[in-house]
Structure 1
Amino acid sequence: MITVTGRRRWTQEIGRYTPFGLVLAIAAAGIGLIFAYHWRIGSGLIGGSLLVAAALRVLLPERQLGLIALRGRFTDVILYGGLGFLVVLVAATIIGGPFDH
């Protein structure tokens, strides 16, 4: 028999990993697009997933972050945001591609 306390614990754990699941789903969609030879859009999605992680790190409290919170808040936001911005910039500015001849 599941008690109310057990349900709260279960929903809290699901809620705790939802932000990471969102970031992972965006990155997985990007990888899928890369494998479908849409490498620029896929790379942009991977960079976008890092930007989403940075935004979630700023907006959500510590108890809801789950696996997104790796270091201190400032360090995570700078690293996620900086790397995400660079990946999006590179994806947007490269001419040609690995499959062009």
Structure 2
Amino acid sequence: MADPALAVRGEAVLQIGEDQLVLRPTFAALSAAEAELGSLFALVNRAAEGKLLFTEITTLFWHVLRDRPAHVTRSVFDEAMAELGLARLTPVLKILLRQILQGQPAQSAAANG
């Protein structure tokens, strides 16, 4: 489900049918997620306490989707998330939450300096 090379960059992959969807937590994507979900800090805290709602997970994932295919609408995406289930979504969520907490991966920062 999660390619290690993508995880180093703070990205994750979800396989939905024939589509491999890349999740990338950019500033714009996280800002959009925060506008819908509220504070990302509070979201991370709820996740740590085991109180994160399934709808919050799917909303976060929706906003950080990169290059979303036209046929993947919000309702199609939400149903696909339900079909995948929490056991398969949790490793992806961990990658995204780590990226939210840590910011830009060290590898990218080293390349810039």
In terms of fraction of residues, the more helix-rich structure is 1
In terms of fraction of residues, the more strand-rich structure is 2
Who wins on radius of gyration, i.e. which is larger? 1
Higher RCO structure (Cα 8 Å, ≥6 apart): 2
Whether TM exceeds 0.5 here: the answer is no
TM-score (norm 1): 0.31
TM-score (norm 2): 0.29
